[in-house]
Amino acid sequence: MSSTVQGLPPNYRTVLDVVEEAGPGSHVTAQEIWVRARALRPRIGFATVHRGLIRLHELGAVMKIDVAGGASAVYEPAASPHAHFRCTGCGAITDLQYAVPAQTVRRLAERHGIAIEREAVTFTGRCAHCG
């Protein structure tokens, strides 16, 4: 809930509200978030929405998803890790229940001497509708 994040500037709070209202799996773009945010705060600027998304992403409140081939990044409320699927026909993005096993991630990190903070798993192909 947005109430779990404190000390947020009012506009950023608005951005967070919009993203959370869209809900998990909604995959909204910064543009769409801007449009919806203006319904609450007509004078909010796109730059502010974008800066808010960056901040909220740093805080871990929203997820930023860069799907290969997708025109722009999409956002959704932070939730349990899952994979994404993008249809090459209609461009729709849907959630898939998959995450790289924690043990596997740990092993990869150890072997390469790296610290893994985030993972992103995206599939592309054809959805049921686009055959």
Partner DNA sequence: TACGGAAGTGAAATCGGTTCTCAGCTTCAG
Partner DNA sequence: CTGAAGCTGAGAACCGATTTCACTTCCGTA
The burial class, CB within 10 Å (0-12 / 13-18 / 19+), for 84 is buried
What binding mask, one character per residue, do residues 5-34 give for its own copies by CB under 8 A, x or -? ------------------------------
Task: Select from its own copies, DNA, none the partner in contact with residue 9, using the beta carbon and a kind-dependent cut-off of 5 to 8 Å.
Answer: DNA
CA nearest 74: which of 15, 32, 131, 43? 32
Restricted to residues 37-56, the positions that interact with DNA (CB under 7 A) are 41, 43-48, 50-52, 54
Residues 6+ apart with CB under 8 A from 41: 11, 14
Check residue 88 for interaction with its own copies (CB under 8 A). yes
76 strand-pairing partners: 63
Residues that bind its own copies (CB under 8 A): 64-66, 68-69, 83, 85, 87-88, 94, 96-98, 100, 104-105, 108-109, 112-128
Residues that bind DNA (CB under 7 A): 9-12, 29-31, 41, 43-48, 50-52, 54, 71-73
